[in-house]
Structure 1
Amino acid sequence: MMSSPFTSKLGTNYCPPDDEIAEIENLLAEPEVRLKCLDDEIASLQRSIDELEDERIRLRAYVEAHRALISPIRRLPLDIIEEIFIACLPTHRNCVMSAMEAPVILGRICSWWRAISLSTPRLWSRLHIVEPACPRNNPAIFEPMLVQRFEATRTWLSRSGNCPLSISLKCNYDQAGLTSTTPTHLIQALLPFAPRWEHITFSTFYSVLESMSHLVEADVPMLKSIGIMQATPGLAVPWESLGFLRAPAIHSFSIAGSSFRPLELPLSWERLTDLSILEGWGSANRSLTSEMSLHLLASCPQLRICRLIVHTGPEISTTHREPVLELSFLHTLDLQCVGPLSTTFCQIFPRLLFPQLRHLKLRGNIKSVYVPETVYPGSVFRAAPRVQTIDINLQSFSKASLAHFLRGLPPTLRELNIGDTQSPGGFHGFEKLLDDEILELLIPSPACPAPGFPNLQVLEIKHGCVFSDAAVLRFIKLRMLKRVTIAFERDMQLDILAELEPLVQNGLHLELTYHPPEVCRFSPWQGLTDVSTLFQSH
């Protein structure tokens, strides 16, 4: 570092007089000459570096081009490449018409990959189709958009060879939100492929389904599963006209959003192994009562998976009670109750036996502030003696009924999930049910050294709990579970993680999250005419 008589003045606001300015100019003469020499030397070296960089780029391109000739991927057999391509497809849904994912993106790597992808039928055997929405500000372009989607659909499926097809169709609304803009156009692209339909899902209107009324079971010999999300409010659907529902291979049926009596559907109920009857947008279906559910289940002796939305109806008569129905193969039951969960639960379970049931999901949906104090009979799980996973929400429980329900859980229980899709206080917002008193029911005590479900390994609570951190610490240490997930809607009160670290090191999967309620925020600029500009600059 060069010395200077002005060192103490550097970096300050000091203003030198004229005689010192001349002194500074003389002081800088030699350093500025040296600085110029250094700049010239650096420029010369930079030119040499640039020349070396250019040579490196050319040499690297030469090497990589030749390395590519001997890359392992070029020597893979065609069938292995095809399997790799197929493994790139989404596994939980159908493929979409997008260059962002397989199979379309695979054809954009190189001409060789494009040729392979286009000649591999299984890549094109699954498709999700979205009907384009009519732009309100430019309706003239809608017809070309629709034609393009029609041609793309037909081209896609024509590449599928003789493969069974999985297809899902999502139709859009017009401005009134009630009808599809062009109900049958895209269906016309699908109908020629009906003999190869294996899994189909239509989120659409009856006018679209009606265009398939000429299909009979012989036209869809491969059809195994059907999903229908149908919304035409107030329209009674003549389901008997849909002959393709009688296809002999159908084993899975899902429907939502319609007003109908399920047993009027022309299905081979005795063959079904997977059944979902739900409600969707625009739905006014209130026909599936507890009694109707029992008749429906009696028609489906082969069920493995069942999802139902049941509306609480009148109490089932006990005078002429039918024999207990056994569903020998059912392993998963998802029961959503519109009305008191306990009422529907107690109406259905005493009439049924589920010897193989492993997974039970119960959801209540009471549209009032009143939660009945109905308790659950301790023997209610005798219908399902092997349940391992139970998933409930809090929307139709009072604290008393929740406590009674937990006391009656079966000894085979391994996983308990409790959630609430509403506010921390539950649907009603009045009572926070999951407090320390409820948590105590899951802990061994002198009065009950072994709780009624000694095999519990997993506890997951998604919403609505007001446990104290100390109570959670005690519970985890006494129960010794394998996984505990609890979401608090408050700040941490006591840091218990350090004390639980030995258990975590020993294999406990622990997830405690704290999300305090959001603080209401406001802007001091709100209400000003230039508020958007101010927000952007601040």
Structure 2
Amino acid sequence: MTASAANTYGLGHWQGPSFTSIPPTMLPPDSISPFADKLGTNYVPSEAEIKDIRGLLIDPTEELGRIQAQIDEMEVFVCQLKAKHSSLKTAIDAHEALISPVRRAPDDVLREIFLACLPIEHNTLMDPSEAPILLGRICRHWRAVAHTTPMLWSSIYIPLPDLPDHDPSTRLEVVSWSLWNVVEQWFERSGTCPLTVSLSDSTEYAYEFDLDNHLVTLLLSVCNRLRHLSLSAETKVLLPLLCLGPEELPILKSLRIRSDDSVPFTDHQGVTNALQIPSLMDISLRVTADPRSLPLKWSQLTGLTLECQPVWRANGDKEGLDGIGALQVLRWCPNLLRCELQITNWDDIGLASNTSLITLPHLHTLVFRGPCQFPRWIPYLAVPKLRCLQVGSVQVTARFRDTPVEEAGMRVELETGRFTSDSLLELLRAFPAISHLHLYSDFFSAGKALLALDHLALPHNLCPILTHAVLALGPGPSDAAILQFIGARMAAPTPLQLFEAHFRREMETDIMPGLQTFISDGLQVSLNYREVSRWKFDARAGLTEPE
């Protein structure tokens, strides 16, 4: 490369090594080499031929050495250029950092930026790679701003992992040294801010332990600032907190308790004190108890989640939440916005002794889980603002779950086995605002899903504004039924936008060509078939692979 050529490519003055042109190879091409037909074979040359080959290779070997020398020289030069490039870039980056706009940002602007870095899906983690701890590791000024911004430290997740060594003294020493000081400093930096705290202790305490060394003690020191509290541990560990009253927990707004103890929750003395805090509006409980026996201030609750396991008494009675009890709980909570109930006793929810109307004017989310049956229950409820309803354990797909629902629409997820055929149709008629519908059926309830599918099409036309339908079905319906349903819904004034079907059978025929017209009109289609195993079992050969 000449100097002028170098300038042409923007390299400035060429100060590297000069390279001579490489002469053509002295080794004859394979086609004219005397040994061309022997190359790549197992031929053994004679002594005379060996001498000829060595003479033939003298000039090419010297040329190869010259080329290698030039390559080495070029690599040295490239390394020098890379070193110079790195040095210049470091100097440029350092100077550009001096004029970075963030250096001139006022502290109040920095604080807003820092607050925007906090997670919104969960409480803040004690993780050096995440805010707020990470923000204090950038520079001295940022650390000062972060440590003097109490809102950055107003939430925290405190995990106490189970340790392989269950010796109490060893565990308490680990907790004391690894977490105690960190949490204590965290609370100090939070100033006087209301706190959102979640504590999870996965240890099974089969021994007597000293609560003075447990992190629950630190929560006691800031209990007057606890606004949102989530606790997961054995009940006896949580007793110091749960026994507090309104004087110690004056601003507690939401409380979440997760305890897998087999001992009934209410058997612990004083454990229900925190449940009666006047400011408490949101309760979530997963404990062993009959929820109707808990002294909650039901009428003031706006959020309620009950996943209580039933209590078995010595006489064999099972105390839990049945269908009648679920309606009674709803009757006690007229101000609910969100409610999730785990029903543990199989009962007929339509045989409630109190047939008065349950009016929930603000309720937007209602979830029933567990082995419950709903032959007739719609007549008991007046829920004008309900926008999300789930009955049974329905596993929704990510696409369905993440699709937003319009203000006038409603999301409904139903396990059809929880209904009779009549009550399923009754529900679909009762909520004409259903825009997102997910129906799950097993082998025994597949007929109910087919019935619902038929009534969702003309002339019945239930759910007139249905735009998203997901069917997780047993052995049916047939591909013809699917085509008929989609055709009817696409012809409706409000056409489908998304259709998913999850079958428990092999694909019968390829129906995608029949859907192309609808797909061209904007319909998203996903059809998923289960592969049926072709393995065979023989009494002598056992399980054999398909051929």
In the superposition, the TM-score normalised over structure 1's length comes to 0.78
Number of paired residues?
A: 481
Q: State the superposition RMSD in angstroms.
A: 3.5
Identity of aligned residues (%): 29
Q: Which residue of 1 aligns with 2:471?
A: 461
Q: Which residue of 1 aligns with 2:410?
A: 388
Residue identity opposite 1:84 in structure 2: I
- Does 2:165 align with 1:133? no
Q: Which one of 366, 371, 375 corresponds to residue 338 of structure 1?
A: 371
Change (3 A) 1:476 1:317: closer
Paired residue secondary structure (1:262):
helix
Residue identity opposite 1:336 in structure 2: R
Q: Which residue of 2 aligns with 1:508?
A: 523
Worse-superposed segment, 123-132 or 140-149: 140-149
Paired residue secondary structure (1:7):
coil
How many angstroms apart in 1 are the aligned matches of 2:209 and 2:440? Answer: 39
Residue identity opposite 2:524 in structure 1: H
- Does 2:435 align with 1:414? yes
Q: Which residue of 2 aligns with 1:255?
A: 285
* Contact persistence 1:215–1:244 (CA under 8 A): yes
Paired residue secondary structure (1:414):
strand
- Does 2:306 align with 1:277? yes
- Does 2:171 align with 1:161? no
Change (3 A) 1:230 1:519: farther
Q: Which residue of 1 aligns with 2:362?
A: 329
**Largest Rg, 1 or 2:** 2
* Contact persistence 1:435–1:466 (CA under 8 A): no
Paired residue secondary structure (1:342):
coil
Mark the runs of 5 or more structure 2 residues left unpaired by the alignment.
1-24, 395-407, 491-495, 537-547
Q: Which residue of 1 aligns with 2:461?
A: 451
Give how far 1:351 is off. 2.7
Paired residue secondary structure (2:326):
helix
How many angstroms apart in 2 are the aligned matches of 1:471 and 1:180? Answer: 64
Residue identity opposite 2:488 in structure 1: L
How many angstroms apart in 1 are the aligned matches of 2:144 and 2:279? Answer: 35
Paired residue secondary structure (1:233):
coil
Paired residue secondary structure (2:487):
helix
Change (3 A) 1:85 1:259: same
- Does 2:519 align with 1:487? no
How many angstroms apart in 1 are the aligned matches of 2:516 and 2:371? Answer: 43
Change (3 A) 1:146 1:413: same
Change (3 A) 1:182 1:137: closer
Residue identity opposite 1:30 in structure 2: D
How many angstroms apart in 2 are the aligned matches of 1:434 and 1:97? Answer: 51
* Contact persistence 2:265–2:287 (CA under 8 A): no
Give how far 1:438 is off. 4.6
Change (3 A) 1:88 1:342: same
Q: Which one of 435, 440, 454 corresponds to residue 441 of structure 1?
A: 454
Q: Which residue of 2 aligns with 1:305?
A: 338
Paired residue secondary structure (2:525):
strand
- Does 2:321 align with 1:288? yes
Change (3 A) 1:406 1:10: farther
How many angstroms apart in 2 are the aligned matches of 1:9 and 1:281? Answer: 88
How many angstroms apart in 1 are the aligned matches of 2:350 and 2:63? Answer: 102
How many angstroms apart in 1 are the aligned matches of 2:68 and 2:409? Answer: 80
In the superposition, the TM-score normalised over structure 2's length comes to 0.77
Task: After TM superposition, list the pairs within 5 Å mapping 1:76-475 onto structure 2.
Answer: 76-136=105-165, 141-147=170-176, 148-174=178-204, 185-212=214-241, 215-237=244-266, 238=268, 242-265=272-295, 267-279=296-308, 286-310=319-343, 311-313=345-347, 321-339=354-372, 341-343=373-375, 346=376, 348-363=377-392, 388-396=410-418, 404=425, 408=429, 410-419=431-440, 426=442, 430-431=443-444, 433=446, 437-438=450-451, 440-442=453-455, 444-445=457-458, 448=459, 450-462=460-472, 464=474, 466-475=476-485
* Contact persistence 2:378–2:430 (CA under 8 A): no
How many angstroms apart in 2 are the aligned matches of 1:435 and 1:321? Answer: 29
Give how far 1:101 is off. 2.6
* Contact persistence 1:393–1:418 (CA under 8 A): yes
Give how far 1:309 is off. 1.8
Residue identity opposite 2:432 in structure 1: P
Residue identity opposite 1:161 in structure 2: G
Give how far 1:20 is off. 2.3
Change (3 A) 1:496 1:26: farther
Give how far 1:391 is off. 0.8
Paired residue secondary structure (2:434):
coil
Give how far 1:43 is off. 1.6
Give how far 1:499 is off. 5.3
Paired residue secondary structure (1:8):
coil
Give how far 1:182 is off. 6.2
Worse-superposed segment, 432-441 or 139-148: 432-441
Give how far 1:466 is off. 4.1
Residue identity opposite 1:472 in structure 2: I
Paired residue secondary structure (1:5):
coil
* Contact persistence 2:197–2:230 (CA under 8 A): yes
Paired residue secondary structure (1:357):
coil
* Contact persistence 1:130–1:169 (CA under 8 A): yes
Change (3 A) 1:58 1:407: closer
Residues 375-429 of structure 1: per-residue CA shift (max 9 Å, x gap): xxxxxxxxxxx9822111245457x568756775643221111236xxxxx3xxx
* Contact persistence 1:442–1:451 (CA under 8 A): yes
* Contact persistence 1:270–1:301 (CA under 8 A): yes
How many angstroms apart in 1 are the aligned matches of 2:310 and 2:356? Answer: 37
Paired residue secondary structure (1:249):
coil
Change (3 A) 1:230 1:48: closer
Change (3 A) 1:443 1:300: closer
Paired residue secondary structure (1:167):
strand
Paired residue secondary structure (1:335):
strand
Give how far 1:221 is off. 2.0
* Contact persistence 1:486–1:513 (CA under 8 A): yes
- Does 2:61 align with 1:32? yes
* Contact persistence 2:475–2:505 (CA under 8 A): no
Change (3 A) 1:11 1:63: same
Paired residue secondary structure (1:96):
coil
Change (3 A) 1:108 1:499: farther
How many angstroms apart in 1 are the aligned matches of 2:335 and 2:461? Answer: 34
Give how far 1:38 is off. 0.9
* Contact persistence 1:338–1:364 (CA under 8 A): no
How many angstroms apart in 2 are the aligned matches of 1:86 and 1:520? Answer: 58
How many angstroms apart in 2 are the aligned matches of 1:25 and 1:405? Answer: 97
